[in-house]
Amino acid sequence: MRRLFILLGFWAILRPAQASIDDAIASALSAIDQYVKQGYIVRDDEWGGDLGLREQKAIPHTLFKGNDYWFCIGSDVENARVAIHLYDSRGKLAESESWQRGRFAGARVLPVGTGTYYIIVEVTGSPKERTTWAMVYAYK
Protein backbone atom coordinates (compact mmCIF):
# COMPACT_ATOMS: atom_id res chain seq x y z
CA MET A 1 0.00 0.00 0.00
CA ARG A 2 2.83 2.35 0.98
CA ARG A 3 4.52 1.57 -2.34
CA LEU A 4 1.31 2.51 -4.14
CA PHE A 5 1.25 5.91 -2.42
CA ILE A 6 4.88 6.51 -3.36
CA LEU A 7 4.12 5.60 -6.98
CA LEU A 8 1.08 7.87 -7.00
CA GLY A 9 3.25 10.64 -5.61
CA PHE A 10 5.78 10.19 -8.41
CA TRP A 11 2.98 10.08 -10.97
CA ALA A 12 1.55 13.34 -9.62
CA ILE A 13 4.97 15.01 -9.88
CA LEU A 14 5.82 13.70 -13.32
CA ARG A 15 2.42 13.93 -15.00
CA PRO A 16 2.19 17.75 -15.38
CA ALA A 17 5.64 17.91 -16.99
CA GLN A 18 4.72 15.15 -19.44
CA ALA A 19 1.36 16.77 -20.16
CA SER A 20 3.12 20.07 -20.77
CA ILE A 21 5.58 18.73 -23.38
CA ASP A 22 2.79 16.71 -25.02
CA ASP A 23 0.67 19.87 -25.21
CA ALA A 24 3.60 21.81 -26.68
CA ILE A 25 4.05 19.08 -29.32
CA ALA A 26 0.32 19.25 -30.08
CA SER A 27 0.67 23.04 -30.51
CA ALA A 28 3.63 22.66 -32.88
CA LEU A 29 1.75 20.05 -34.91
CA SER A 30 -1.30 22.28 -35.13
CA ALA A 31 0.95 25.08 -36.42
CA ILE A 32 2.43 22.91 -39.16
CA ASP A 33 -0.86 21.30 -40.14
CA GLN A 34 -1.63 24.05 -42.69
CA TYR A 35 1.39 22.96 -44.75
CA VAL A 36 0.31 19.32 -44.91
CA LYS A 37 -2.56 20.50 -47.08
CA GLN A 38 0.04 22.08 -49.38
CA GLY A 39 1.80 18.76 -49.92
CA TYR A 40 4.51 19.01 -47.25
CA ILE A 41 5.45 15.81 -45.41
CA VAL A 42 5.74 16.23 -41.65
CA ARG A 43 8.61 14.33 -40.07
CA ASP A 44 7.22 12.02 -37.41
CA ASP A 45 9.59 13.34 -34.72
CA GLU A 46 9.87 16.41 -32.56
CA TRP A 47 12.39 18.47 -30.61
CA GLY A 48 11.59 20.41 -27.49
CA GLY A 49 12.31 21.45 -23.94
CA ASP A 50 11.83 24.53 -21.85
CA LEU A 51 13.39 27.96 -22.11
CA GLY A 52 13.50 31.06 -19.96
CA LEU A 53 12.46 34.44 -21.28
CA ARG A 54 14.74 35.62 -24.14
CA GLU A 55 16.66 32.38 -23.93
CA GLN A 56 17.54 30.79 -27.27
CA LYS A 57 18.29 27.29 -28.41
CA ALA A 58 20.16 26.41 -31.61
CA ILE A 59 19.38 23.18 -33.40
CA PRO A 60 21.83 22.34 -36.23
CA HIS A 61 20.36 20.45 -39.15
CA THR A 62 21.66 19.35 -42.56
CA LEU A 63 19.25 20.74 -45.13
CA PHE A 64 19.29 19.73 -48.78
CA LYS A 65 19.17 22.10 -51.71
CA GLY A 66 16.12 21.19 -53.76
CA ASN A 67 13.87 20.60 -50.75
CA ASP A 68 11.42 23.15 -49.42
CA TYR A 69 11.15 23.19 -45.60
CA TRP A 70 8.78 24.67 -43.03
CA PHE A 71 9.80 24.64 -39.37
CA CYS A 72 7.15 25.38 -36.73
CA ILE A 73 7.34 25.90 -33.00
CA GLY A 74 4.51 25.81 -30.49
CA SER A 75 4.11 26.22 -26.77
CA ASP A 76 1.38 25.11 -24.39
CA VAL A 77 1.68 28.31 -22.32
CA GLU A 78 -1.22 30.66 -23.00
CA ASN A 79 -0.02 34.22 -23.71
CA ALA A 80 3.53 33.09 -24.39
CA ARG A 81 5.32 34.33 -27.50
CA VAL A 82 7.80 32.17 -29.31
CA ALA A 83 9.95 32.73 -32.38
CA ILE A 84 11.80 30.52 -34.84
CA HIS A 85 14.34 31.60 -37.43
CA LEU A 86 16.87 29.87 -39.67
CA TYR A 87 20.50 30.77 -40.26
CA ASP A 88 23.11 29.22 -42.52
CA SER A 89 26.48 27.95 -41.28
CA ARG A 90 27.94 31.47 -41.56
CA GLY A 91 25.22 32.91 -39.34
CA LYS A 92 23.35 34.61 -42.18
CA LEU A 93 19.55 34.67 -42.02
CA ALA A 94 18.47 31.98 -44.49
CA GLU A 95 14.69 31.87 -44.31
CA SER A 96 12.52 33.00 -47.19
CA GLU A 97 9.55 33.82 -44.96
CA SER A 98 8.51 33.59 -41.35
CA TRP A 99 5.54 34.34 -39.12
CA GLN A 100 4.83 34.65 -35.43
CA ARG A 101 1.41 34.45 -33.80
CA GLY A 102 1.55 34.30 -30.03
CA ARG A 103 2.61 30.86 -28.90
CA PHE A 104 3.03 29.65 -32.49
CA ALA A 105 5.66 30.56 -35.06
CA GLY A 106 7.00 29.25 -38.34
CA ALA A 107 9.86 29.78 -40.78
CA ARG A 108 10.33 28.55 -44.33
CA VAL A 109 13.64 27.84 -45.98
CA LEU A 110 14.52 26.94 -49.55
CA PRO A 111 18.21 26.11 -49.10
CA VAL A 112 20.49 27.76 -51.65
CA GLY A 113 23.02 25.03 -50.94
CA THR A 114 23.17 21.74 -49.05
CA GLY A 115 24.81 22.09 -45.67
CA THR A 116 24.32 22.79 -42.00
CA TYR A 117 21.68 25.31 -41.04
CA TYR A 118 20.83 26.49 -37.54
CA ILE A 119 17.26 26.58 -36.33
CA ILE A 120 17.10 29.21 -33.60
CA VAL A 121 14.13 28.97 -31.27
CA GLU A 122 13.38 31.60 -28.66
CA VAL A 123 10.78 32.49 -26.06
CA THR A 124 10.19 36.20 -26.57
CA GLY A 125 7.43 36.63 -24.04
CA SER A 126 5.84 34.53 -21.33
CA PRO A 127 4.00 34.84 -18.05
CA LYS A 128 6.03 31.85 -16.82
CA GLU A 129 9.63 31.60 -15.72
CA ARG A 130 10.22 28.56 -17.94
CA THR A 131 8.19 27.96 -21.07
CA THR A 132 7.78 24.53 -22.63
CA TRP A 133 8.17 24.45 -26.39
CA ALA A 134 8.29 21.91 -29.19
CA MET A 135 9.46 22.11 -32.78
CA VAL A 136 8.43 20.04 -35.78
CA TYR A 137 9.25 20.36 -39.44
CA ALA A 138 7.91 19.42 -42.83
CA TYR A 139 9.42 19.25 -46.31
CA LYS A 140 8.50 18.69 -49.92
> Which residues in 1-40 contact another protein (CB under 8 A)?
none
Least Å distance, CB 21 to another protein, is 14
DSSP 63-85: E-BTB-EEEEEEESSTT-EEEEE
96, 125, 128, 130: residue in contact with another protein (rule CB under 8 A): 125
DSSP helix/strand/coil, 139: strand
Of 1 and 106, the one with the shorter C-beta distance to another protein is: 106
Spatial separation of the C-alpha atoms in residues 87 and 67, rounded to whole Å:
16
- Which residues have C-beta within 8 Å of that of residue 132, sequence separation ≥ 6? 20, 21, 23, 24, 48, 49, 50, 75, 76, 77
Binding of another protein by 85 (CB under 8 A): yes
Binding of another protein by 52 (CB under 8 A): no
Interface positions with another protein (CB under 8 A): 41, 43-45, 47, 55-67, 79, 81, 83, 85, 87, 89-93, 95, 98-102, 105, 113-116, 118, 120, 124-125, 127, 139-140
